[in-house]
Chains A and B, each alone.
Chain A
Amino acid sequence: MKKSYKISPFIQAIIVALMVFGYGCSDDFFNDKAGDRITPDQHYKTLIDAGVSLQGVIIPLQDFMPNLIMMDGLLSDMMDVTANANANLININNHEIAPGNPYVNPASLYQVILNANEVLANIDKIAANDRNFDAVLLKAYKGALVGMRSWTYLTLIRLYGKAAYMEDNLTSLPANLSQKMLSRETMLDTLINQMIPHIHDPGTGTQMQEVRLKYCVNNKALLGELYLEKNDYANAATYLKLACESYLNQSAILKVDKTYRDAGWSNIFLNSEGDDVENISVIPYSTENKQDNVLAYWIGRNYLYMVKPTALLVDSFRTQIPAAGNPGDLWRGQGITIKTDTLMQVNDSTYLTESYITKYEIDDQDPLSSDIILSRAADVHLLLAEALNRMGDETSQKYALMLLNDGVNAVNPKPAPYSRWSANLGIRGRVYLKAWELSEGLLRNPEARMLYIEDLIMAERALELAFEGKRWFDLMRVARRRNPEYLADKVAAKFATDPEVYNKIHVKLRDPNNWILTY
């Protein structure tokens, strides 16, 4: 077996050296990945990647929306704390928010922005890779991303008065953690400028068809809302109206029609994801998939029950006048949005009653799967009515009342701008409530009339959109154009039983600086 090899040691050493350095030249060699995660080079290849990334942008809102709704309700006049509430909620209710209050943490919102920027920076790669991802889709996706990002910024400036503006995809932390903070006003302008290129122009028939992407906001509605926030009512009305209509001059998409009429109204919340005439943007939850809606858990009577509807709201539902029958908002009030139970007999004549929020347990079999709606048709219609009313002219105000009351359907002949809105039943008409009418005196006084209609719209928004995270923003918007007192009055009314607290809150909220949350 013995052999002798006649290779010089030098050559042998070279062979060994070659063997050694032949290893590990490429980066692939170190391509170890961590767990159930993927690296950027594995992504942005196909249409499917675009879909999962777009939804990934939205998903941090699953964490944030419950907080937003709690903040909205407690800061405004919609919710009150119960004995079960924790200190953080009590502080929000009393407008005494300490640093670190977890409900006020904006991190999830910034995650939306970071992810939107990330996808926007990379989405062109998909277009280059997958021919199914054509120009129409690319435009739709970009629009949706900009829309979701703008909605998030709008929410941030509404809550916190300012927001850290990130222009580009953030791939590493900036030096000294410096960030550009934009004020509410600057941010509104920035957002409007960003949104405009992503609005489909309905004027030309050659425009590509608009693609609606699931879970995303309607960009025209959002642009209208941005203008409304700036008190630019004409532009607001234009875009809010466009949002309800579709291209090529066909009938309206967001109709507020018979689909959710009367008893059907509560189905809005059951069909939240499957529907496209009412619901625009929805954050889904599902216990089956282990994504419990923690909001339903916080508020549910059978769960933590930390908050309850205010007595004002309960009364407001109870005193609505229907088109016929006993007072009460039959299709939206008791048993749907809220519920009042007689719980315990205190003595022979006194019963203790307790109210609770039921809007997130309309599906009583699986309340923790209730979705949270970000935006829906009724919201857009009422914003449109608000803008029209504020435009000040009699015709616009007539349209505003029409949308609030019984809709285009009840008007004959149909006014020209709404000729294709014949299915519209109006917000109140849809739930069979009596239409508001203007008194003679108001008809002669444009200023008083405008305020009166605005009050009606605000009251209606409180009922229609109760616990959907709108009220605090509505109050601030209206108070900014009217008087800070407006907001202070509304919110302090919650504490009417305790004059001392009432005064404290009222004084505090008369200063708009105190509306701004800090974290």
Chain B
Amino acid sequence: MTKRYYYLTCLSFMFLGLTFAVQPLPAQAPGKIVSGMVTESGTGLPLQQVFISVSSTGASTTTDEKGEFSISVPDLHSELIFDLPGYVKRNIFLRNREFISLSMVPIIYKSLDDSYNSPLGVRTLKDAVFPVTGLTVNDLKHTRASSFDQAFQGKVPGLSVTEQSGMPGQRTYMNIRGISSIYAASEPLLFIDGMIYDYSYATKSLMEGFALNPLDVVDIDDISDVTFLKDGLSFLGAAGSNGVIDVNTEQESEASTVIKLSAYGGISLSPERQDLLDATPFKGYFKDILSSQGYNPGQINTMYPWLDGNQSADEFYRYNNNTDWQEEIYKPSTLYKAHFFIKGGDDIATYNISTGYLSHEGIYDKSGYTRFNLRINGKINITDRFSITPNAKLSLADSKLANHGPMERKNPILASLMKSPLMASYTKDELTGADLAYLDDVGAFNISNPTVIVQNAQGSNRNYHFLSSITAKYRINSNFNVSTLVGINFNNARENIFLPDIGIVQIDSAFNSPGDFVNEFRSMQNHTQLNYTNKTASGHSFILNGGFRYMKNSYKHNLSLDLNTASDDFKSLGDGSQYNFLRSTTGDNRGLTWISYFGNLNYNFRNKYFLLGNLSYDGNSATNKDNRYNFYPSLGAAWRLSAEGFLNEARWLDDFKLRGSWSVTGNMFSSVYDYSKLYYTTRRMNGTGVLLREIIPNNELELEKKNTINAGIDLSLFKQLFNIHVDYYNSNVNNLVIEQSIPETFGYTEYFDNGGKLQIKGLEVAADARLHFGNFTWLLGGAVNKQATEVKELTFLNPGTKNIVTPVNNAQFVTMAGKPINSYYGYRVEGLISSADAGKYTGPKGVLMQEGDIRFKDVDGNFVIDEKDMEIIGDPNPDLFGSAFTSLSFKNFELSALFNYTMGNDVYNYVRNRTEAMDSYANQSKTVLNRWTPSHKGTSVPRASYGDPAGNAVFSDRWIEDGSYMRLERLTLSYNFPTWQGVHKGMVVYLTATNLLTLTDYSGYDPEYVYVNSPYYMGIDYGKIPHTQSFVMGIKLNL
């Protein structure tokens, strides 16, 4: 496709716009009288005092006590506007009807006529051409969520939100319509009060498996509405390919002062325990594993005299406990939050100030998260045409973190599962067996003391966010207005970590290690936009936007690690070793500049035919000069069937609209595009820095572009009591960036090019219903998302390469044409080696397999189990996910429940791998009681053998489990106190239970987790802090 093609597209938009604009007005018909009746949706009660006006003439009237009205209109194509406080405003075209029967939806319920904020301005949901979902305050209430993203879970079709773990302050992994890239971003672009908020970088932490949540810059109680734009984001050019979440905090304020107070408090319970061996079976297992090393009972007795309960043996008390380590580390924890909000002002200036404090304890000692938020919004009307809106948000978050990576050495959860029950947290008095005051060291089984990790390992993080903008708006005339926003975003995180010596397994010569980390993100932005709106009397409506966005981001971090301080009491960086070779310092300093010129045309004719076009011309610093600027077009059309005459008589049909669209967007958020440029990198030669080239650049590397075709249906029945939205999409990334291997004779073998094709297909169905029975109102809703990401094609430079195998810690993923992206790649288990097959197969570690070992599938039939026998053994991506929501209100009581579910995703249970590997002195799960022994052969659990020479525990489908689950995410009971004149204007008390029930076959703690935000760690459970059941009680007070 040439640039000329794009220009033509662009020009045709303009032409189309102009032809309609210059169309002569139809001759003025003689006036007509229209009458009608307005009722409340749901109850059917007549509404009086509804203000009705004719948009073309301005004539107006109100309904009487029966809800009836009559009004004079110039012709039967006029548009009427119905407005009543407490109800959603409606605009309708007469469409030749002389009698209008209209129902209005109370503002507390969702309605098609709701408006939503998009980065281009305010739009109406029912006129949407591209798929969009809006959330309001009501969707985000009564939650214990520490940040707003957690509350999006299950609320939006097409959006998947996974909390990374149960660690307070942890971010979520959000994704709209699937993974669209291997190396570039797959997470939606976030707007907060009109500013792009890049939240990818400010998440970094030294704690393995932990990512900070930069979204806590906005308190959930400050949010007024959120919009999810899932497609058609060409006006955002290279930033638009993963959808947009547009979050707006409360801005509008009335002249009278409003004060709101809210608070909650509650507890989290500790998680359900995993079934592990007690002391006695552990001893049996331990002896088994020792004998697999070739020790006979006599030798074992010499080495471990305390093993057989010999009280006089040295360290008898140290090694004769029966500790439940899970019990040692977990504890119930508390949750608190308070929020204060005030708004007010006059015609000239209004203000809107809020502040909040939140404290969530973690489920084990010394972990937790506290946060302070401050927000100030205002609006100053300098003239009636010119206004300024300043906006500032500040948050300070303190976290006490714990490691939850794949190393049981540092991860307290893994350590608690693997530590032998024979030991105890504290050292023992050698004579009496009483606990002494000191935590015990590692001891005989070579697993860190979990209590030490929890109590003495330090991970404190302090995170500052500052987000501020000022917007100036000038109304040129009734059709034109111009606005510009200038904003900065600043994030600074400091982290201090310390890993003690005593109680933690040592690696090489490292005893203890302090570390410091500073992470800084800055962004400068400007959005300038000219808007044109026009509505002709004949029913042509135009909205035209044009302007540009400018963004300059800087990403920077510094990290220092040292080793071996004088003792565990010295924890800061300066206390560490003076030797250079024990220290390491690393850093990063990157930038991204982006400028995007965009145009947007919104046209509709009498709310019946809709046309929407976007075009942006976009330049960024991610790729090299040759591919810097790109065009991104999109085009959509919609047809409201329900506005056609032939459906005028279908009273049960409130709205019926078909949508179709096509869009092209880009994906610039990735450092992989650095491979398009030649850089010189530095190495050290003795004391000096020397310079050499980094790579062979790929001058042709271009930004990944996503083409999406979307088709949708919006249907609303029975006066908006029943609504359904269906969207089908098919996205193709035809220039997916993949890593190539190039011959060694080029010196640099790392090379990336646009050699892949990816297809993402999906179907989203969301439906809701509202039923009224007397005093009862019952709301019901749900969403189903079916989604599949498939690698369509891979073109390798090296003809011998067929697929890309990516090893990560203890697992492997494969990218293979025709298969889901990032499938698990490993061996398949077929059972155990029988006595007949003993010695026949060479195992994955090159050792002959014995009876009782795993019999892996020998794909090539050569009796050698090696990488040629690997196949795809699972897909971490879900086939289906969604939610169900219900709420029942009776008078002032309301009971609501939210369910989430995920189906068809495979997970790699690394925790089970460690607790069923039977290859070390680590404690194991009860499953190993069923292990193969010469006297117990009819089993599927292999034999225990130290070091696992046979490779029974290697990455195979033995560890892959079905990760489907259904969870009762939230259950809330609330009571709405009636207004008490002079005391309060409203008060709600609620009780929310979170995570009350989970239905799953997954054997780990919790099926909901994400290790890190990378497609290459999807589905691996390295032992994350599980989500806990929690109960909070809260109050909201309006004064």
Which of A34-42, A354-362, A374-382, A471-479 lies on the face that meets chain B?
A34-42
Are A37 and B383 in touch, CB under 8 angstroms?
Answer: no
Are B580 and A108 in touch, CB under 8 angstroms?
Answer: no
Report which of B580, B588, B746 forms a contact with A173, defined as CB distance below 8 A.
Answer: B746
Which of A8-16, A138-146, A425-433, A484-492 lies on the face that meets chain B?
A8-16
| Bound: A39/B690 CA distance, A | 14
Which A residues are CB-close (under 8 A) to B593?
29-32
Which A residues are CB-close (under 8 A) to B589?
33, 35-36
Kindly provide the distance from the CB of B534 to the nearest chain A CB, expressed in whole angstroms: 12
Q: Does B363 contact A (CB under 8 A)?
A: no
Kindly provide the distance from the CB of B219 to the nearest chain A CB, expressed in whole angstroms: 33
Q: Does A106 contact B (CB under 8 A)?
A: yes
Are A173 and B590 in touch, CB under 8 angstroms?
Answer: no
Which of A109-117, A128-136, A200-208, A408-416 lies on the face that meets chain B?
A109-117
Q: Which residue of A lies closest to B596 (CB)?
A: A24
Complex interface bits, A1-34 against B, C-beta within 8 A gives 1, otherwise 0: 1110100010011001001110110010111111
Q: A32-B621, A60-B692 are in contact. Are A23 and B548 (CB under 8 A)?
A: yes
| Bound: A109/B743 CA distance, A | 13
Q: Which residue of B lies closest to A33 (CB)?
A: B591
| Bound: A144/B475 CA distance, A | 69
Q: Which residues of chain A from 441 to 463 have a CB within 8 Å of any chain B CB? A: none
Are A20 and B744 in touch, CB under 8 angstroms?
Answer: no
Are B530 and A107 in touch, CB under 8 angstroms?
Answer: no
Q: Does B550 contact A (CB under 8 A)?
A: yes
A interface, size bucket = 35 or more
Q: Does A43 contact B (CB under 8 A)?
A: yes
Q: Does A291 contact B (CB under 8 A)?
A: yes
Q: A43-B680, A105-B744 are in contact. Are A57 and B692 (CB under 8 A)?
A: yes
Q: Which residues of chain B from 86 to 103 have a CB within 8 Å of any chain A CB? A: none
Q: Does B749 contact A (CB under 8 A)?
A: yes
Q: What is the count of residue pairs linking A and B with beta-carbon distances less than 8 angstroms?
A: 190
Q: Which residues of chain A from 157 to 176 have a CB within 8 Å of any chain B CB? A: 163-164, 170-173
Q: Does B687 contact A (CB under 8 A)?
A: yes
Q: Which residue of A lies closest to B748 (CB)?
A: A111
Q: Which residues of chain B from 367 to 408 have a CB within 8 Å of any chain A CB? A: 382-385
Q: A2-B383, A30-B621, A30-B628 are in contact. Are A172 and B682 (CB under 8 A)?
A: no
Q: A30-B621, A37-B681 are in contact. Are A16 and B477 (CB under 8 A)?
A: no
Which A residues are CB-close (under 8 A) to B681?
36-37
| Bound: A35/B686 CA distance, A | 22
Q: Which residues of chain B from 596 to 637 have a CB within 8 Å of any chain A CB? A: 597, 619-621, 625, 628
Q: Does A55 contact B (CB under 8 A)?
A: yes
Kindly provide the distance from the CB of A335 to the nearest chain B CB, expressed in whole angstroms: 27
Kindly provide the distance from the CB of A464 to the nearest chain B CB, expressed in whole angstroms: 26
Which of A183-191, A224-232, A282-290, A344-352 lies on the face that meets chain B?
A282-290
Which B residues are CB-close (under 8 A) to A328?
none
Q: Does B997 contact A (CB under 8 A)?
A: no
Q: Does B671 contact A (CB under 8 A)?
A: yes
Which A residues are CB-close (under 8 A) to B679?
33-34, 37-39
Q: Does A59 contact B (CB under 8 A)?
A: yes
Kindly provide the distance from the CB of B750 to the nearest chain A CB, expressed in whole angstroms: 10
Q: Which residue of B lies closest to A215 (CB)?
A: B685
Are A16 and B530 in touch, CB under 8 angstroms?
Answer: yes
Are B683 and A59 in touch, CB under 8 angstroms?
Answer: yes
| Bound: A280/B746 CA distance, A | 28
| Bound: A43/B691 CA distance, A | 10
Q: Which residue of A lies closest to B555 (CB)?
A: A35
Q: Which residue of A lies closest to B679 (CB)?
A: A37
Report which of A20, A39, A179 forms a contact with B680, defined as CB distance below 8 A.
Answer: A39
Kindly provide the distance from the CB of A293 to the nearest chain B CB, expressed in whole angstroms: 12
| Bound: A366/B16 CA distance, A | 78
Are B384 and A55 in touch, CB under 8 angstroms?
Answer: no
Are B480 and A108 in touch, CB under 8 angstroms?
Answer: no
Are A12 and B476 in touch, CB under 8 angstroms?
Answer: yes
Q: A3-B383, A171-B697 are in contact. Are A289 and B687 (CB under 8 A)?
A: yes
Q: Does B233 contact A (CB under 8 A)?
A: no
Q: Does B797 contact A (CB under 8 A)?
A: yes
Q: Which residue of B lies closest to A7 (CB)?
A: B476
Q: Does B982 contact A (CB under 8 A)?
A: no
Q: Which residue of A lies closest to B689 (CB)?
A: A52
| Bound: A5/B386 CA distance, A | 11
Which B residues are CB-close (under 8 A) to A164?
743, 745-746
Q: Does A363 contact B (CB under 8 A)?
A: no
Report which of B480, B628, B678, B798 forms a contact with A13, defined as CB distance below 8 A.
Answer: B480
Kindly provide the distance from the CB of A72 to the nearest chain B CB, expressed in whole angstroms: 19
Report which of A1, A23, A113, A215 forms a contact with B747, defined as CB distance below 8 A.
Answer: A113
Q: Which residue of B lies closest to A112 (CB)?
A: B747
Which A residues are CB-close (under 8 A) to B620?
30
Q: Does B936 contact A (CB under 8 A)?
A: no
Q: Is the interface of A mostly helix, strand, loop or mixed?
A: mixed
Interface centre among B593, B671, B693, B797 (most CB of A within 10 A): B693
Q: Does B674 contact A (CB under 8 A)?
A: yes
Which A residues are CB-close (under 8 A) to B382?
1
Are A289 and B683 in touch, CB under 8 angstroms?
Answer: no
Kindly provide the distance from the CB of B679 to the nearest chain A CB, expressed in whole angstroms: 4
Q: Does A424 contact B (CB under 8 A)?
A: no
Q: Does B595 contact A (CB under 8 A)?
A: yes
| Bound: A1/B381 CA distance, A | 10
Which B residues are CB-close (under 8 A) to A40?
678, 680
Are A173 and B745 in touch, CB under 8 angstroms?
Answer: no
Q: A2-B383, A36-B589, A114-B748 are in contact. Are A173 and B680 (CB under 8 A)?
A: no
Kindly provide the distance from the CB of A40 to the nearest chain B CB, expressed in whole angstroms: 6
Q: Does B652 contact A (CB under 8 A)?
A: no
Q: Which residue of A lies closest to B384 (CB)?
A: A2
| Bound: A31/B681 CA distance, A | 17
Which A residues are CB-close (under 8 A) to B619?
24, 30
Which A residues are CB-close (under 8 A) to B587?
35-36
| Bound: A179/B797 CA distance, A | 14
Kindly provide the distance from the CB of A42 to the nearest chain B CB, expressed in whole angstroms: 8
Q: Which residue of B lies closest to A37 (CB)?
A: B679
Kindly provide the distance from the CB of A238 to the nearest chain B CB, expressed in whole angstroms: 33
Report which of B383, B677, B693, B700 forms a contact with A1, defined as CB distance below 8 A.
Answer: B383
Are A52 and B690 in touch, CB under 8 angstroms?
Answer: yes
Q: Does B482 contact A (CB under 8 A)?
A: yes
Q: Does A83 contact B (CB under 8 A)?
A: no
Are B691 and A53 in touch, CB under 8 angstroms?
Answer: yes
Which B residues are CB-close (under 8 A) to A291?
684-686
Report which of B480, B671, B682 forms a contact with A34, defined as CB distance below 8 A.
Answer: B671
| Bound: A49/B798 CA distance, A | 36
Are A31 and B621 in touch, CB under 8 angstroms?
Answer: yes
Q: Which residues of chain B from 658 to 704 have a CB within 8 Å of any chain A CB? A: 671, 674, 677-694, 696-700
Are B592 and A56 in touch, CB under 8 angstroms?
Answer: no
Kindly provide the distance from the CB of B14 to the nearest chain A CB, expressed in whole angstroms: 14
Report which of B547, B685, B696, B749 forms a contact with A55, defined as CB distance below 8 A.
Answer: B685
Are A114 and B580 in touch, CB under 8 angstroms?
Answer: no
Q: Does B742 contact A (CB under 8 A)?
A: yes
Q: Which residue of A lies closest to B477 (CB)?
A: A9
Which A residues are CB-close (under 8 A) to B742?
173, 177
Q: Does B5 contact A (CB under 8 A)?
A: no
Which A residues are CB-close (under 8 A) to B682?
36-37
What are 13 A-B pairs at a CB distance below 8 A? A2-B384, A30-B593, A30-B621, A32-B621, A34-B591, A37-B679, A52-B691, A107-B748, A107-B749, A108-B747, A114-B693, A114-B746, A164-B745
Show the binding face of B for A, using Cβ within 8 Å: 348, 382-385, 476-477, 479-480, 482, 528, 530, 546-548, 550, 580-581, 584, 587-593, 595, 597, 619-621, 625, 628, 671, 674, 677-694, 696-700, 742-749, 751, 797-798
Smallest CB-CB A-B distances: 5 pairs: A110-B747, A32-B591, A56-B692, A164-B745, A111-B747
Additional A-B contact list (17), CB under 8 Å, known A49-B691, A114-B696, A286-B687: A1-B382, A3-B383, A12-B482, A23-B550, A24-B550, A32-B590, A36-B587, A36-B682, A37-B694, A39-B677, A39-B678, A53-B690, A58-B690, A59-B683, A179-B745, A288-B581, A292-B581
